[in-house]
């Protein structure tokens, strides 16, 4: 009887350990910036401004000493300076051009917003003198998917939005999110690039993908251990049922050897 009890006790403990093992995750996999204590000096990130690409949307403002010129080119702005984005958004077509009043098509693809402003100024010189043109991105969006609390397309207005701020736009990671496996999908020079990000590593701040850009797609992958237990509830239920049945039979004295 003692040996039978001892054997069943060990069996129950083994099953319980196997069941619990599926949901045990090291703390370092759930933490950001695990190597912060080893950081000796600030990480430098010489971030370059994103060049204009086809399908970007631009806000273009013409400033002139002539009030009528300002009203003509900045019709989407009211007297208080607020902006109606539906009226002032200038889409870049598939060829990298924008269609602008009086001057027609202007090639802006590959330029920074400041460079695009200078090019539009030159194109407007024939019609407007002493005008200054400001170009900015507008209607910036990124897509955040996977193990975040709020999946979807999110808008942002900052000139610089880093990957941690982007994850925060999605409500932060769920408890199943893998901090060491975040996938960034980005279009570069007509190529779709895939980057694997480790948000637990401080060195990420020195990478060119530390700052997200409009139209980026961010996918937070699930933890392997937690995704196993999360997606295999049936397995856990079976283990628990077997454990319970063995315990009942043991104490009822119905198992014979």
* Predicted confidence (pLDDT) per residue in 122-133, tens digit: 988 888 777 889
Please name which of 214, 247, 49 lies closest in space to residue 143, comparing C-alpha atoms: 214
Q: State the residue range of the domain holding 107.
A: 57-137
Q: Same structural domain for residues 108 and 173? A: no
| d(C-alpha 29, C-alpha 31), whole Å | 6
Report yes or no on 78 lying in a domain: yes
Residue 197: its H or E element? strand 191-197
Please name which of 47, 83, 240, 2 lies closest in space to residue 159, comparing C-alpha atoms: 47
Q: Same structural domain for residues 203 and 185? A: yes
Please name which of 158, 174, 189 lies closest in space to residue 221, comparing C-alpha atoms: 174
| d(C-alpha 153, C-alpha 109), whole Å | 24
Q: Can you give the pTM of this predicted structure?
A: 0.63
Q: Same structural domain for residues 17 and 67? A: no
Specify the 3-state DSSP secondary structure of 64: coil
Show the tokens assigned to 163: 């990957």
Span 192-219, pLDDT tens digits: 999 999 998 888 888 888 999 888 999 9
Whether the predicted pLDDT of 220 surpasses 50: yes
Please name which of 167, 155, 233 lies closest in space to residue 199, comparing C-alpha atoms: 167
Query: Could you tell me the CATH number of the domain that includes residue 188?
Result: 3.10.560.10
């Amino acid at each position: 009887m003692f040996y039978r009890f001892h054997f069943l006790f060990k069996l129950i403990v083994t099953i319980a350990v196997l069941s619990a093992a599926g949901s045990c995750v090291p703390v370092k996999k759930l933490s950001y910036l695990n190597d912060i204590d080893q950081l000796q000096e600030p990480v430098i990130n010489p971030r370059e401004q994103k060049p204009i690409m086809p399908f970007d949307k631009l806000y273009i403002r013409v400033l002139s000493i002539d009030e009528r010129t300002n009203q003509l080119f900045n019709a989407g702005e009211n007297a208080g300076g607020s902006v109606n984005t539906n009226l002032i958004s200038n889409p870049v077509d598939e060829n990298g051009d924008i269609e602008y009043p009086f001057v027609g098509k202007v090639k802006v693809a590959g330029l920074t917003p400041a460079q695009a402003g200078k090019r539009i100024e030159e194109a407007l010189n024939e019609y407007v003198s002493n005008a200054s043109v400001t170009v900015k991105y507008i209607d910036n969006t990124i897509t955040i998917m996977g193990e975040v609390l709020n999946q979807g397309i999110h808008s942002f207005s900052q000139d610089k939005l880093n990957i941690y701020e982007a994850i925060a736009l999605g409500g932060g990671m769920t408890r199943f999110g893998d901090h060491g496996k975040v996938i960034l999908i980005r279009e570069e020079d007509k190529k779709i690039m895939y980057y694997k990000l480790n948000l637990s590593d401080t060195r990420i701040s020195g990478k060119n993908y530390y700052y997200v850009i409009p139209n980026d797609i961010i996918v937070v992958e699930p933890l392997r251990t937690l995704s196993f237990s999360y997606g295999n509830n049936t397995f856990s239920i079976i283990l628990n049922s077997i454990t319970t049945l063995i315990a009942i039979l043991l104490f009822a004295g119905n198992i014979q050897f």
